[in-house]
A and B are shown apart, each in its own frame.
Chain A
Amino acid sequence: MVEGEVEKAKMRARPIVKLGIFLISHSSFVSVICLIAAIVALLLLPVLAKNTYISENALMPGSANSMLSTQDVSEANKLVKDLAHLYLRSPIESQQIIGQYMSGLDAEVTYQKFYPQLNRFHPLHFFTNSDLGISSSNMNCSSLGINTVGIIRAPRGDGKEAIVLVTPYNPEKNGVGEALSLGIAYSVFSLLSRVTWLAKDIVWLVADSRYGEHSAVDAWLREYHDPVFHRNDLTDSETCNESNTTTELEQKLYVDKKFYSGFRRAGTMAAALVIKVAEDSNHFEDSLNIYAEASNGQMPNLDLINIVNYLAVHKEGLRIQVKKIWSLLGFRWLNTLGVVFESVGQIARSLNPQWKFGIPASEYVEGTATLASSLYCQAFGVPTGPHGAFRDYQIDAITLEISPKVSLSKMTMRNDFILRGGRLLEGVVRSINNLLEKFHQSFFLYLLTSPSKFVSVGVYMIPFVLLITPLPLVAASLHIDASKSTTPQTTEVDVSRKSWKWLNSARKVFVIHLWGVVVALFPYFLCRMPNSTPTTNFTLWGLLSAFSLIILYLILGSPVFEASSSQPEKREWASIKSVTTTAAFIGLSLMSVINFATAEIGALFIIPICLMVRPLKLDAQARSLRTLLRATLNLVLGFIAFPPVAYVLLKVVFDDVDGFSVGEYWNWVESLWAWNSATYLYVGIVHLPCWALCIHILFHPC
């Protein structure tokens, strides 16, 4: 009965099976077509980008008139001036002044003491998502930071939701830009303390950025979400002198009865805005930079960027930009490509006016530069600002960096600047205030090609899918070949387990991947060495990796493991290649879910070599032009796919740096695991082993 069902199933599936067999038998042809299509689709992405639109109706940005008055601004300016006067005094005092200003607005003020977190090695953080207690062993009194937090309770709210404004502030440096960002936040804060329409509490966090902006925000968020009850470091801090100063600092506020020594909270956060003011002013007009990439290529909801973009452009007349890779703008071929796409678009439009395809060449080049930067920032998996800390708690956050047109020393210009920035911020807060649920309407997975254009997940997946489609096809065709060619057909019932032949090469591939894990773990031990330069660390790392690889080779070559394959197989490399391609396929597909940009860039490096690789010996024996060409191409591709080389290439193309030291790669690796980037895992567990296996096949003695 079952047999009958199976037969029937086979009958039904026949066209699909036929198609599959056709694709597998023409795998090399199909893979060439797929790769070309993938590259074309990737280059077409800026053309296919759609205009952004505000998807959540409740937001209604810009529907109300701005209420921020010049009085608020002059108050804010006073704060800026006060901070500037404090320049030479102790850092505590400036925080005190901020606290006083906050409590002057009837806000609840608290100070949060924290220790900046040291770099920790948590490559599995991505899967576990459980914050362990902070190890307090490495903390000392000198690195104590103090966040100042002011909270306005919403008159119409139930205290269950909040909007967060963050201004990083370094009291030791006390730059004019940071003071101005405080001024902008203060002007809005003072307005919001009076308005009646507020439905969400407003939290203003002045993050102590002495030890980095991100770590201060992260410390506050951690305390906010996962309070630690039995902490040892608090008792430690009592012994420090700093704690005396904080109590001293708090004393003044006790008089107003608005100070509460515990940690204050205000509902779940709907969104967070980080405000910064850039100090360099060599632009033609006031402009606004948006940074959105959080850890592991996560992005905030597109609606948040949309509101800011809408308000900045239509209300405040700011020039808005997202990060771009400037070096790409000068590429001649990109421009030519843009012209080609433009003319194709014109032809398409002349055929049917409704086909809206094609954008101007200059726009195309700009879009490509922005897209490349978007990919590049997401691929490293390192947040581009303090907003990254919020995304770990599923809060949408962006950094707004406002750069003024002229120098900020002039008084009148300053007032005008604060007014503009404050109005933008007010509009955004008012719009988020209208939100009924958390952001969910718009996209989370997108790439920006300009502040008002995006490529959604459905579109940007196409090039990637085209890129990885050849992998299973090639694996299948090689697998079929390998299992066919190795059946000796001695008797009618040959005892050779032909369908399990591949297990042998699977074991090898598995061992190499295990080696990848070991290599990924080495830096954990290396970074504990005292007084070591990045260069020595890198060389040590390389040596250790090579050494462990040799040991693994020896173990693999030992007779115990070779027992099952007594006769050396002729096409062993084919079977290894088939398993390698499968492993690369699984690894890349997994990575595309975790961090798409890493997978895309990694795929561009590893897939050509995975598909092309063939033992050099075979190619050399054939001695035709084609095989020699293939051999050299394989060597070049193999060289390029080596992770440090790939890194250097990426840097040269995207960051436009010339000089290179070996230590730089180490620094990069260190930053990756300090930020718990999944890219680190990808490089260690997927990319490096696949590359090693490709090289193994390349030099296979067949």
Chain B
Amino acid sequence: MKKVQWFWISVLGSVILRFILFYSSKNLNLSSRPEIATPLTSLRRLAEGYWLKQSSMSPYSGSMYHGSPLLLTLLGPLTVTRIEGQPDHLLCGFVFVIADVICAMLIRATGETLQAAYSSRLKLLGLHHLSQNSGEVLPSGDLAALVYLWNPFTIVACIGLSTSAIENLMVVLSLYGACKRLAPLAAFGWVMATHLSLYPAILLIPVILLFGYGLDAPPRKLFLQRKKFEVDNSSSSDNNRLEEGVRNQLSMLNVFSWKSVSHFLFWTLLWSSYVLVLCSIYLRQHGGLQELFKRTYGFILTIPDLSPNIGVFWYFFAEVFDFFRNFFLIVFHGNILLMMVPLALRLNHRPCFLAFVYIVISSMLKSYPSVGDSALYLGLLGLFAYELRDMQFSFFLISGYVGASLLSPVMHNLWIWRGTGNANFYFGTAITYACFQIILVVESVSAMLNHDRMLKKLSTAKLVKT
């Protein structure tokens, strides 16, 4: 009971902290920092787009705004309303705070579902003692939600009025829907997330796996072993009804349920056509859907804006010769796609973790990354706190994250304001940051695989013993 109380107090605390910062961070200029506001997520650009639309021009004219038209209708009116005596964009900030809190709640609910499912699976394998004893520490769902809410990256992205809070909400919504097997919700989340920032499109694989195979579980081979063992046992001795039930459950686990997947795909189709229709209505007089695709997805994929950010693309594409540009665009974007299939094959029994790994990789290799993306995957990392508790280099990683995120504004200042540094200084921190993200992915995946190996060892030992 006390734990629950603490959880809500800290949620409230994080909200209050955000409001305090809204009122006191005026001279920090967070909303114009390159680490927070990318051309895709900056609210200032959104306000500009809204203004253009209001004066009956295309919101995309002048290469200012590159987001979705739906965000314009949602946030646009809020950017122009000002309350006397309050900071600008307070209403938008309010929306982002709500988005953050909802996101955290969804992460928490997802965590609870995952944990319940995981311990029931472990029970099937006869490894009861491995499931988390919730009395000792926070359940992983609560932990993940708190990590998400209190993460400085999330707070800074929220104060900096970056729309990545809404993108993150959509991603989490689709994961939540898939975990709860709510096809319409999952489809909505996925469609919206893809519509807003394109990269979540690769989450289609984990979501389909979630619908097909169900939630994260120990490797499927173990269940097959167990089932074989049970069958062998039952053939020799009498089979009672309880064992029958277990066996049924075990066999159910390995069936890919095409029905729910097709259900999900149907809803996806429905939602995406709905979104497209809405967009085309909104942009009817300004070039329609073709303009939309060119200005949003085209902008993401061809990287015309080379202003510095924490990613690694801007520097490279500022340097590369023009006639190699297309080739390297394909290579760089192919990088993400290249890693998808092997990871999906190896981690198909853990779709949520697979989604986490995809999100880390895409936020590392996307064309306009910001700290808001890191906030999402660091929050999701909390969901697997139990499985990843033996992760190596955790201290090193967190120190690295702290160091890189503090060094980045300093280097930017040295380059832009003092003029004593140059672009290499800033890019150096971007490289460091990318390295730490790579280490995070490698270490978390290897910790997860080690966890699986340990489960396999224990389960076979148990079978041999009996």
A residues with CB within 8 A of B: 1-3, 6, 9, 124, 126-130, 132, 298, 394, 444-445, 476, 479, 492-493, 495, 497-500, 502, 506, 560, 564, 578-579, 582, 586, 589-590, 593-594
Contact B342 A1 (CB under 8 A): yes
Residues of A with C-beta under 8 A to B399 = 582, 586
For A586, give its contact among B133, B392, B402, B442 (CB under 8 Å): B402
Say how far B347's CB is from chain A's closest CB, in angstroms: 8
The distance in angstroms between the C-alpha atoms of A124 and B419, with both chains bound, is: 18
Given A3-B449, A499-B391, the answer on whether A128 and B27 have CB atoms closer than 8 Å is: yes
Given A3-B449, A499-B391, A564-B137, the answer on whether A129 and B417 have CB atoms closer than 8 Å is: yes
Q: What's the dominant secondary structure at chain A's contact region?
A: helix
Residues of A with C-beta under 8 A to B417 = 129, 394
Interface presence of B109 (CB below 8 A): no
Of the A-B pairs whose beta carbons lie under 8 Å apart in the complex, a sample of 6, sorted by A's number, is A3-B446, A127-B413, A129-B417, A495-B136, A497-B390, A500-B394
Residues of A with C-beta under 8 A to B346 = 1-3
Residues of A with C-beta under 8 A to B183 = none
Contact B418 A124 (CB under 8 A): no
Say how far B366's CB is from chain A's closest CB, in angstroms: 21
Given A2-B343, A127-B28, A593-B410, the answer on whether A497 and B403 have CB atoms closer than 8 Å is: no
Contact A124 B28 (CB under 8 A): yes
Residues of A with C-beta under 8 A to B395 = 479, 502, 506, 578-579, 582
Contact A6 B442 (CB under 8 A): yes
Contact A394 B403 (CB under 8 A): no
Least CB separation from A130: chain B residue? B29
The distance in angstroms between the C-alpha atoms of A113 and B218, with both chains bound, is: 76
Contact B411 A499 (CB under 8 A): no
Residues of B with C-beta under 8 A to A560 = 6
Q: What's the dominant secondary structure at chain B's contact region?
A: helix
Scan B361-401; emit 1 where CB is below 8 A from any A CB, else 0: 00000000000000000000000000001111011101100
Contact B137 A394 (CB under 8 A): no
Q: A2-B449, A445-B420, A564-B137 are in contact. List 9 more A-B contacts (CB 8 A).
A: A1-B346, A2-B445, A3-B446, A298-B418, A394-B419, A493-B130, A497-B390, A499-B392, A593-B411
Contact A298 B420 (CB under 8 A): yes
Interface presence of B409 (CB below 8 A): yes
Contact B419 A493 (CB under 8 A): no
Contact A499 B343 (CB under 8 A): no
The distance in angstroms between the C-alpha atoms of A298 and B342, with both chains bound, is: 51
Contact A590 B410 (CB under 8 A): yes
Given A493-B458, A495-B136, the answer on whether A593 and B389 have CB atoms closer than 8 Å is: no
Contact B406 A586 (CB under 8 A): yes
Given A564-B137, A586-B399, A589-B403, the answer on whether A499 and B29 have CB atoms closer than 8 Å is: no
Interface presence of B407 (CB below 8 A): yes
Least CB separation from B347: chain A residue? A2
Interface presence of B301 (CB below 8 A): no
Contact B28 A498 (CB under 8 A): no
List the 4 shortest-distance A-B pairs measured between CB atoms, nearest first: A444-B420, A497-B389, A1-B342, A394-B419
Interface presence of B454 (CB below 8 A): yes
Interface presence of B414 (CB below 8 A): yes
Scan B128-166; emit 1 where CB is below 8 A from any A CB, else 0: 011001001100000000000000000000000000000
The distance in angstroms between the C-alpha atoms of A124 and B133, with both chains bound, is: 45
The distance in angstroms between the C-alpha atoms of A445 and B418, with both chains bound, is: 12
Residues of A with C-beta under 8 A to B402 = 586
Residues of A with C-beta under 8 A to B406 = 586, 590
Say how far A130's CB is from chain B's closest CB, in angstroms: 6
Residues of B with C-beta under 8 A to A582 = 395, 399
